[in-house]
Amino acid sequence: MTYPMNHTVTAREMMVSNLVTLQANMDALDAIDVLLKHKISGAPVVDENGRFVGVFSERSCIGFIVAVTYEQLPSNNLMAFVDQNPPTIDEETDLLTIAQTFLDASCRRLPVLGDGGRLVGQISRRDIMRAARSQLRNKESLKSGAGLYLSAVVALEDRPAW
């Protein structure tokens, strides 16, 4: 998708809404099977009402494997290994804020939450790259600072010469 030069791109426009999700009451081994089957590095976890409760990632899987191996884990409860406090964004979060969130947090995906904490979508780092590249296609937008609105972050005299 190509965005107009002075358009502020939001999460709503970039997010993927057809997601592979995991249920909070799943067995951890079943969740690992889902990630492997779909060749994904992680998935949002939702409760029975579709409310976001966390992320189960490759890192979570490794934690599960270590716990099972070394600690003789008595339970395969998925929620014991879910990151229940990952960074999230809402549908109106702008492109530059999302990019900064990815820089500040060590995550591959950002869940997009709607009203009542309902999961409405997800944005990956690659989604940000696509949206930014679309806005930066026009060399004039780079010269003027339009598109990503870098002027809000860097004064004109401090910007690199293009």
List the pLDDT tens digit at each of the 162 positions of the chain.
555 555 688 999 999 999 999 999 999 999 999 999 999 999 999 999 999 999 999 999 999 988 888 877 666 889 999 999 999 999 999 999 999 999 999 889 999 999 999 999 999 999 999 988 887 776 555 555 555 554 444 444 544 444
Number of domains in the chain: 1
SS (H, E, C) the chain: CCCCCCCCCEHHHHCECCCCCEECCCEHHHHHHHHHHHCCCEEEEECCCCEEEEEEEHHHHHHHHHHHHHHCCCCCEHHHHCECCCCCEECCCEHHHHHHHHHHCCCCEEEEECHHHEEEEEEEHHHHHHHHHHHHCCHHHHHHCCCCCHHHCCCHHHCCCC
Residue 5 domain flag: no
pTM for the structure as a whole: 0.78
Residue 2 domain flag: no
Question: What is the structure's pLDDT at 132?
Answer: 86
Residue 6 domain flag: no
Q: What is the CATH number of the domain that holds 111?
A: 3.10.580.10
Residue 69 domain flag: yes
